[in-house]
């Protein structure tokens, strides 16, 4: 595996409570890396550096979130060739539009976690007086998140074929010559749950901005168990978080403005971005979702809401979530441009000097309520309706759900409306084996690489293992995803 042929130690310190100016240390070889971590402060710096790396455009900074929405039917494109439209058209092969940056970025992060955990174990065995517990918990949770994201990109849904190939399951540092092969989807999920469970008691319950705490871990557990259709466990994790009252839902009059604020009352895990460190500028997520030409001639209007999403949101003209939508290039009345990651439709950002250095809200409390609603649906429809209504109230003119009217599609629609632009829709549709229909009706778009409607049987719902990775690790060529 090419990314595992080097050991990197990156010490980065960055904040908005999580970060200040960061320090980058040159990569070291495996011998030096064993002595790189000596104190809890070193471990903190390394975790901050890892979180900083997660804001790369190849991960949460842009492409991973765009992947989840562009492929899920809630976004469409007005024109091809502006950038990232291969996500929408599914134009992937082993040598072009392979989006191998996901693989490289996340395995580099996993490598850093494994090296940190190795160093901590070594120091603890030597009898160090330093307390590394919290940083060990953060590292394990981060590894679980990265593996969860990787297996969703490259492996079939857990409920589809858990015996099929997932991704290489690497939990230790490897020799430079190592060529690890793919584990099964089930093995990946077992490792994810194992990491989360091991990490949970080690983590702080303080509401710490920009870092992984106990509740971020519980939120991840709820999300992963939902994907596994282990509804009892998903509901238990979600309810623990909800009942803790550490985080609170925004009132209707607060929701729109929450996007121009950092670390709000709903934000369970948020990645900090500063103008002089992680600001992607014209390559940022917010820039890719705004209207053509808005605020800059470089704004290309890459993606806009599909008719299907706008019809869903349009069930209530007073839905508060219209407040982050603005008109797109097709019409001054079609509110297809999403401004969550520009702070506001006026490009206010979230309190920093640029409107593109907007923090990434990875897990919000509203998602946890919707997880609780879906998990409860199968055993207690009254509870499901109550959890759903906590979010459905954002559409003030819609009737609240009841035990007799709540449906899974109602919950899924609410997830679409609430989490639009946050990278969930495709993965929701795939895990539930729903048909995704694309809004291919704008301009002169030609889509030759998929049908107008697909489900998870379509081979390109999985990314290929890239040719670059195969060249570095020939053994994995035997485990290429079918169809490629």
Q: CA–CA separation, 69 vs 419, rounded Å? A: 10
Where on the phi/psi map is residue 454: left (φ > 0), alpha (ψ -120 to 50), or beta? beta
Phi, psi of 328 (to 5 degrees): -105, -175
Q: CA–CA separation, 210 vs 273, rounded Å? A: 10
**What would the pLDDT profile of 239-298 be if each residue is shown by its tens digit?**
999 999 999 999 999 999 999 999 999 999 999 999 988 899 999 999 999 999 999 999
362 touches 386 (CB < 8 A): no
User: What residue ranges do the domains of the chain occupy?
Assistant: 1-203+450-484
Report the pLDDT averaged over residues 320-329.
97
Q: Which residue has the higher pLDDT, 464 or 28?
A: 464
Task: Provide the pLDDT for residue 34.
Answer: 55
Q: CA–CA separation, 316 vs 309, rounded Å? A: 12
DSSP string, 273-314: --TTTT--GGGSHHHHHSPTTSSSTT-----EE-HHHHHHHT
pLDDT surpasses 80 at 15: no
- What is the 3 state secondary structure string of 12-45? CCCCCCCCCCCCCCCCCCHHHHCCCCCCHHHHHH
Task: Provide the pLDDT for residue 244.
Answer: 98
Task: Provide the pLDDT for residue 276.
Answer: 84
Q: Among 3.20.20.450, 1.25.40.390, 4.10.490.10, 3.40.50.2300, what is the CATH number of 1-203+450-484?
A: 1.25.40.390
Report the pLDDT averaged over residues 7-19.
35
Which of 39-53, 153-167, 433-447 has the lowest average pLDDT? 433-447
Task: Provide the pLDDT for residue 89.
Answer: 96
pLDDT surpasses 70 at 434: yes
**What would the pLDDT profile of 446-482 be if each residue is shown by its tens digit?**
899 999 999 999 999 999 999 999 999 999 999 999 9
Report the pLDDT averaged over residues 401-427.
98
**What would the pLDDT profile of 348-390 be if each residue is shown by its tens digit?**
999 999 999 999 999 999 999 999 999 999 999 999 999 999 9
pLDDT surpasses 90 at 405: yes
Confidence of residue 208 (pLDDT cuts 50, 70, 90): confident
Q: CA–CA separation, 409 vs 58, rounded Å? A: 31
Task: Provide the pLDDT for residue 22.
Answer: 30
Nearest residue to 219 (alpha-carbon basis) of 160, 266, 251, 172? 266
Query: Chain-wide mean pLDDT for the chain?
Result: 92
Report DSSP state, residue 338. Answer: E
Report DSSP state, residue 178. Answer: -
**3-class secondary structure, 449:** coil
Task: Provide the pLDDT for residue 27.
Answer: 32
Q: Which residue has the higher pLDDT, 5 or 324?
A: 324
The dihedral formed by the CA atoms of 363, 151, 223 and 266, expressed in degrees to the nearest 10: 0
Which of 17-26, 99-108, 240-249, 274-283 has the lowest average pLDDT? 17-26
Structure-block tokens of residue 372: 């609780």
Nearest residue to 33 (alpha-carbon basis) of 46, 48, 47? 46
CB neighbours of 301 closer than 8 A, spacing ≥ 6? 78, 79, 82, 290, 291, 292, 293, 328, 329, 337
Report the pLDDT averaged over residues 174-186.
90
Q: What percent of the chain has pLDDT over 90?
A: 87
Q: CA–CA separation, 340 vs 364, rounded Å? A: 13
């Amino acid at each position: 595996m090419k990314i595992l042929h080097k050991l990197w130690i990156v010490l980065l310190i960055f904040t908005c409570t999580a970060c200040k100016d960061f320090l980058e240390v040159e990569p070291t070889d495996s011998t030096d890396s064993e002595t790189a971590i000596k104190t809890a402060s070193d471990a903190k710096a390394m975790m901050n550096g890892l979180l900083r790396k997660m804001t790369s455009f190849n991960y949460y900074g842009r492409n991973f979130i765009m992947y989840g929405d562009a492929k899920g039917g809630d976004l469409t494109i007005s024109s091809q060739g502006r950038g990232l439209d291969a996500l929408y058209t599914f134009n992937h092969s082993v040598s072009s539009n392979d989006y191998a940056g996901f693989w490289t970025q996340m395995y580099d992060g996993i490598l850093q976690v494994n090296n940190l955990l190795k160093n901590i174990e070594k120091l603890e065995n030597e009898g160090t007086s330093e307390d590394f517990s919290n940083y060990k918990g953060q590292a394990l949770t981060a590894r679980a998140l990265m593996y969860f994201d990787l297996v969703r990109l490259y492996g079939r849904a857990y409920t589809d074929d858990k015996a099929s190939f997932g991704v290489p399951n690497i939990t230790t540092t490897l020799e430079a010559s190592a060529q690890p092969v793919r584990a099964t989807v089930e093995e990946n999920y077992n490792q994810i749950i194992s990491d989360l469970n091991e990490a949970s008691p080690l983590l702080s319950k303080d509401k710490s901005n920009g870092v992984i705490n106990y509740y971020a871990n519980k939120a991840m557990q709820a999300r992963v168990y939902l994907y596994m259709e282990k509804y009892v466990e998903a509901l238990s994790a979600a309810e623990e978080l909800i009942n803790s009252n550490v985080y609170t839902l925004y009132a209707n009059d607060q929701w729109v403005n929450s996007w121009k604020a950092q670390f709000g009352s709903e934000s369970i895990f948020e990645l900090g971005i500063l103008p002089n460190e992680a600001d992607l500028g014209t390559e940022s997520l917010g820039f890719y979702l705004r209207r053509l030409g808005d605020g800059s001639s470089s704004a290309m209007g890459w993606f806009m809401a599909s008719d299907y999403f706008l019809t869903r949101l349009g069930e209530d003209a007073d839905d508060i979530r219209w407040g982050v939508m603005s008109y797109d290039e097709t019409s001054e009345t079609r509110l297809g441009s999403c401004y969550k990651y520009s702070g506001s439709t006026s490009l206010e950002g979230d309190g920093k000097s640029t409107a593109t250095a907007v923090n990434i809200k990875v897990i919000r409390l509203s998602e946890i309520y919707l997880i609780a609603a879906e998990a409860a649906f199968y055993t207690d429809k009254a509870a499901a309706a109550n959890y759903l209504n906590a979010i459905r109230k954002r559409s003030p003119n819609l009737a609240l759900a009841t035990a007799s009217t709540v449906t899974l599609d109602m919950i899924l629609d609410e997830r679409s409306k609430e989490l639009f632009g946050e990278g969930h829709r495709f993965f929701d549709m795939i895990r539930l084996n729903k048909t995704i229909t694309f809004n291919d009706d704008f301009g002169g778009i030609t889509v030759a690489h998929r049908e107008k409607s697909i489900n998870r049987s379509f081979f390109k719902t999985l990314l290929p293992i890239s040719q670059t990775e195969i060249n570095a690790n020939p053994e994995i060529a035997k485990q290429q995803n079918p169809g490629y």
